[in-house]
Amino acid sequence: MSLSKEKKSILITGGAGFIGSNFVHHWCQNYSDDQVIVLDALTYAGNRQNLADLENRKQFKFIQGDICDRPLIEKILKEEQVTTVAHFAAESHVDRSILGPDAFVQTNVIGTFTLLESFRHYWNEQGNPENSRFLHVSTDEVYGSLEADDPAFSEVTPYAPNSPYSASKAGSDHLARAYFHTYNLPTIITNCSNNYGPYHFPEKLIPLMCINILLGKPLPVYGDGQNIRDWLYVGDHCSALETVINKGKAGETYNIGGNNEVKNIDLVTMLCELMDELASDLPVKPAKELITFVKDRPSHDRRYAIDATKIKTELGWTPKETVENGLRKTIEWYLNDQKWWQPLLSKDYQEYYQKVYG
């Protein structure tokens, strides 16, 4: 349900990626009068098919471009009279950041800086409208790794990123924060736990396991499989971001989590059991026979957990989906939308797979 009636012109960077495209759908469904502009470079993770059903919508525009391209950003802000930036564009995969960190620093740090700097000048030219927002979508990985009995990450947990991915996201968070304190730019930062759901590129844990089960391929679990993640259904993340845009206070940070801590091995086992139940003609059944422990990722964070008290008490947001129900919905989507993921298993994907898993 809409929380704000005020009409917006919203620039969504990275809107052809996993969370971005879910958010674009969410926004278009809930705010049909708003102008929605997607800016996306269409890297390996971006897919225009994710937005195919919106292409004919009158108030929708897709622009292929890079967030590091300042003249392009300045042009879009002015021409589209942007009121709100929802910034998702990033290099987002830890394993890729270990193989090659350059693109992470370029997009996540320089790209975010370019957006902030362009938005600052535009916002000043507009007379500093109070209702403007720059939402910087970030991750809980900036807080580093928790031991089993540590309290969950809160908004005041010190930053301690361990991978090039999380370090580059931490750098971009610090810039977004500094632009509020130095220039009063109405930035808001959200730090969210691991997401899952439709349109998730099949390199990340959950879609990779779903697809490997369907193909009868080994399910590579890193290390001892005891690492813990706090899983959030992507639809819940989108509703949290909507709440933050409409009700969040400029200059604040909000942690977003699902309150669903699960060990990797338990999650993969759960996926196998759900697949046994929901999929017909699996090449290997029970699917858990495919589970294979492989060499651990370097500097693999042991546990993430989010304390989402602030967004609950100050803005009234809580997640709706249980892990079991969210995983069911996700698996059904991958079963029904094989035409979406089959073309993604391209030569580039196979090369990446070979590099990581051998």
Q: Which residues bind ligand NAD (CB under 6 A)?
A: 13-14, 16-20, 40-43, 45-46, 66-68, 88-92, 107, 111, 137-139, 169, 192, 194-195, 201
Nearer to ligand NAD, 17 or 161 (CB): 17
Helices 205-215, 264-278: crossing angle, 10 deg rounding: 40
Binding-site ranges for ligand TYD (CB under 6 A): 94, 141, 194, 204-205, 208, 220-222, 227, 229, 264
Nearest approach, Cβ of residue 50 and ligand NAD (Å):
8
266 annotated active-site: no
Nearer to ligand TYD, 229 or 237 (CB): 229
Nearer to ligand TYD, 87 or 93 (CB): 93
d(CA 37, CA 76): 9
Q: Other C-beta atoms within 10 Å of 297: how many?
A: 15
Residue 97 binding: pick among ligand NAD, ligand TYD, none (C-beta 5-8 Å cut-off by kind): none
Which residues in the chain belong to E strands, given as ranges? 9-13, 35-40, 60-64, 84-87, 133-139, 187-192, 195-196, 219-222, 228-230, 232-233, 253-256, 261-263, 291-294
Query: Which entry of 31, 165, 196, 233 is annotated as an active-site residue?
Result: 165
What lies within 8 Å, CB to CB, of 265 at 6+ separation is 221, 224, 225, 226, 291
Nearer to ligand TYD, 222 or 340 (CB): 222
d(CA 130, CA 270): 47
Residue 18 binding: pick among ligand TYD, ligand NAD, none (C-beta 5-8 Å cut-off by kind): ligand NAD
Nearest approach, Cβ of residue 352 and ligand NAD (Å):
13
Residue 96 binding: pick among ligand TYD, ligand NAD, none (C-beta 5-8 Å cut-off by kind): none
By Cβ distance, which residue is nearest to ligand NAD? Answer: 17
d(CA 66, CA 116): 14
Query: Which entry of 40, 66, 91, 140 is annotated as an active-site residue?
Result: 140
Give the position of tokens 């609950």: 312
140 annotated active-site: yes
307 annotated active-site: no
Residue 227 binding: pick among ligand TYD, ligand NAD, none (C-beta 5-8 Å cut-off by kind): ligand TYD
DSSP state of 184: -
What lies within 8 Å, CB to CB, of 3 at 6+ separation is 242, 243, 246, 247
Residues serving a catalytic function are: 140-141, 165
